[in-house]
Amino acid sequence: MYDVATRAGVSHQTVSRVLNDFPGIRPETRQRVLAAIAELGYRPNRAARALVTSRSRAIGVLVPATADFGPMSSLHAIERAARAAGYHALITSTLIETDAVRESLQFLLDQSIEALVVIAPYRVVTDELDAVPLGIPTALLQTGDADAAGAIAVDQRAGARLAARHLLDLGHRNIQQLTGPADYLEAVARRDAVDDELAAAGASRLPHLTGDWTADSGYAAGSALDPATTAVLCGNDQMALGLMHALADLGRAVPGDVSVVGFDDIPESAHSLPPLTTVHQDFEEVGRRAVNDLVARLEGREPDLAGQTVAPALVVRSSTWQPRM
């Protein structure tokens, strides 16, 4: 900063005022300072500024080391919302292992972040959060439990019930589930909610099939369906798309022979053949609410948005129909 001041012929305080966009700086002075900054390649030292102001204006974000649609959609919304609020998102990913989660959390805390967003779909992540004293405002996304402290979530159980009720209302009673991994919190929440809904309706209890969220695992499930199945409720859209591909290869029509429902409403689900009935999750709204909540807490005010649960919505397309009698 002193080098910039010397080059521009001003005081270092003037350089600081230009950098912080203070009013009252003459246009020609501002231009000289900006030209000196460009000539010298000067970058403000954020670490030094944080020491002076006790504010890093950084929000840490911990994400699983996957490219899944939901976490990535929320992540992009978090970045945009943080920037709009005058903060920066500092992001690191983690493998789903205790030591890796602990190391990633410590890395973020060592960067003097002011708040933390954890996209935490796995039990190992929430367990580690319980074990580490964070001491900063924290928001948890995709925990599968909208009632957990700090959780901001789409109501997974409500979404699963919507999907199950849709199939039941069409007349299906032999409904099989293709669930996500058992260590994925939201997969368990959806699975259990569907089981409860089917049991309450007196529907047949067919064995669960388990996938890994990928279309390949959905395709593999096609040959493992129970012969009595007239409808399949899938834990996400990618598995549903893979399943529909498998059914087509097996000569079974969707929805004529088997109805299929997904979960998430990824963009591709509207363009499958047939277009996929699914449950819409507003991942971007979840990300926005997380940042809104954290910034409000940092600034000592109430969040603008009341409540933390985001409602899902059933999107009915052409992959579901009444069962053949």
What the block records as the tokens of 275 is 């277009």
Q: Where are the beta strands (DSSP E) in 105-146?
A: 115-119, 138-141
Cβ contact 140:148 at 8 Å? yes
Q: Which helix (H) or strand (E) holds 259?
A: strand 259-261
pLDDT (tens digit per residue) in 99-141: 999 999 999 998 889 999 998 788 888 888 888 778 888 988 8
Our measurement of the distance from residue 81's CA atom to the centroid of its chain's CA atoms, rounded to an integer in Å, reads 14
Q: How many helices (H) and strands (E) does the chain have?
A: 12, 12
Mean pLDDT for 233-249 is: 97
Mean pLDDT for 198-206 is: 95
Q: What is the pLDDT of residue 124?
A: 87
Distances from the Cα of 103 to the Cαs of 14, 108, 173, 251, in angstroms? 41, 9, 47, 49
Within 10 Å of residue 11's Cβ, how many Cβ atoms? 11
Amino acid at position 285, single letter = E
Mean pLDDT for 166-194 is: 95
Kindly report the pTM of this predicted structure: 0.80
